[in-house]
Structure 1
């Protein structure tokens, strides 16, 4: 993350304007209080697409035909609002979004954006997607430009969780892993947009399958504490048969069964809790039950098989380190 706070006050707005035009797209920015302007930015390359994490004082942004002629990456840009509000006008559409909302715009079309924040910076996570990467008809996607997409439901909620994880952990991934994450990002964006167009049938079967798998992974992670989290429950929630669920895991090269993934993710959560000094007074069996294990003996055997030590031994080594 690079911050304007490292620069003299009079240079901060110009620095952010130059950074945005260079790293995102040429844009004309204006702000009511340039002498008080603050901003920070971080970019992550996912191999063919990029994410940008931005924080900035309220400003207005215009992308004019002249600026489009000056530089156009030919992208759809998808924004996830973190803090503050934004109003976007493009393609005779207009919307206002707040924290948790998603919006999309086309860099090849003129646009106007106004942002505001009552307390602190406007914060936005952005995905920069090559137009040809989204396997949906251009005329259909135009219907979603400058339209509010709630980020807390359906595929949009899975996409939001994915973007959050990218921000928090993307810097720890290798170049190849980031490239794979880029493919997942495109699939989730396409599935999210298709859902809001009621056009999932327009997506290639492979994209629909990968997006379904990501929804299943998110569902598993959100329900690890439920001892009734079984392949049957997962299949029913996603309106597929148990047989189809198992085939999905095999065909996508996951290298583990549905039950194995549930067990691994539960063990990872337990391991993280056992290593936290703040939870050192919590009995091991309480932590195991918190993450859906049916009993302490089952948990202890499974933990030792995975990590080579008992839960108690691991906690002693970790907390005492």
Structure 2
């Protein structure tokens, strides 16, 4: 599990909760001035996930105002770019006379060296913040300055890839080891750089290794979406991304498995999950296999046994789910 710091307003006396929240957020980002337009209790939760020099903080909180003032900037500037993916609610951000409204699955951006103000809508707000040191982005700062304040979508393209990555990370860090943290932070930095470059139309400014890592992530996301397609092959993947098969294989040389092995592992994991799902207990094994791209039941059974040391039928029975009788030419598992 990755290193995390957790904040819960309920851990503090009612009268101290908002002040504790201000201290927490100032520590996660940079010194901030917070203000509420209503009194009473205040609810907030946040987690700080440390990924080397990069950090991610999922948070849920009630309506209030955040300010980064010139005075606070003079006191301390950690030289960070900040992105927040709005998951619920509405956020209004202002930089002097410029204003922007961000809604669910919009990214908003800030620079720790610039004054800004954020006002949130009524009710609970949920977001995932990303803090990236400026020195980690391989883009000229005068170009990044043009990105700050622009609305960026988390619903499509590289923005969707970044949104998917951080929301999955925020959902659970249990499957990661502490040693994974710097690598995950590096992936996040690359995705942020790629998103900024896309907004700037400045892909040529990115170093080749950032291009390669970002492309590999896009290809993996494509594979996960197309697992059901029996025609998903290295050739079709390369064609969909306008690259050669040899280049695709070179991209995966930096991974722990080949393209074909990656596809097979994801498909087997999906079938294993479905075989232990009580809601699918009446679905024939061959139908589950076909759903995930295995067109030959005998080939699926051999691959499943090789991966898990048990035939698929035995796994299903081991979970108290009776396997249906073979139909439509299904071979015994």
Judge same fold: TM > 0.5, yes or no: yes
Q: TM-score, normalised by structure 1?
A: 0.94
Task: State the match for 1:96 in structure 2.
Answer: 101
Deviation at 1:247?
Answer: 2.0
Distance between the aligned counterparts of 1:241 and 1:62, measured in 2?
A: 49
Distance between the aligned counterparts of 1:10 and 1:286, measured in 2?
A: 58
Deviation at 1:101?
Answer: 0.8
The structure 1 residue matched to 2:21, chosen from 16, 37, 40, is 16
Is 1:316 equivalent to 2:317 in the alignment?
A: yes
- SS of 2:84's partner is strand
**Greater CA drift, 129-138 or 272-281:** 272-281
- Check the 8 A contact 1:91/1:145 in 2, yes or no: no
- Check the 8 A contact 1:91/1:109 in 2, yes or no: no
Task: State the match for 1:161 in structure 2.
Answer: 164
Distance between the aligned counterparts of 2:258 and 2:195, measured in 1?
A: 26
- Check the 8 A contact 1:93/1:145 in 2, yes or no: no
- Check the 8 A contact 2:7/2:24 in 1, yes or no: no
Distance between the aligned counterparts of 1:319 and 1:136, measured in 2?
A: 56
Is 1:264 equivalent to 2:253 in the alignment?
A: no
Deviation at 1:93?
Answer: 4.2
The structure 2 residue matched to 1:69, chosen from 70, 74, 99, is 74
Deviation at 1:233?
Answer: 1.9
The structure 2 residue matched to 1:138, chosen from 141, 154, 164, is 141
Structure with the higher fraction of residues in helix conformation: 1
Task: State the match for 1:296 in structure 2.
Answer: 297
Is 1:123 equivalent to 2:126 in the alignment?
A: yes
Structure-to-structure mapping, 1:222-241, within 5 angstroms: 222-241=225-244
- SS of 2:224's partner is helix
Q: TM-score, normalised by structure 2?
A: 0.90
The structure 2 residue matched to 1:78, chosen from 70, 78, 83, is 83
Once the two structures are superposed, what CA deviation does each residue of 1:64-90 show, in whole Å capped at 9, x if it has no partner?
Answer: 011112222110011111101111123
- Check the 8 A contact 1:93/1:147 in 2, yes or no: no
Task: State the match for 1:281 in structure 2.
Answer: 282
- Check the 8 A contact 1:84/1:121 in 2, yes or no: yes
User: Structure 1: where are the runs of 5+ without partners?
Assistant: none
Alignment: residue pair count: 316
User: Structure 2: where are the runs of 5+ without partners?
Assistant: 1-5, 322-333
Once the two structures are superposed, what CA deviation does each residue of 1:209-235 show, in whole Å capped at 9, x if it has no partner?
Answer: 111101101111111112221222211
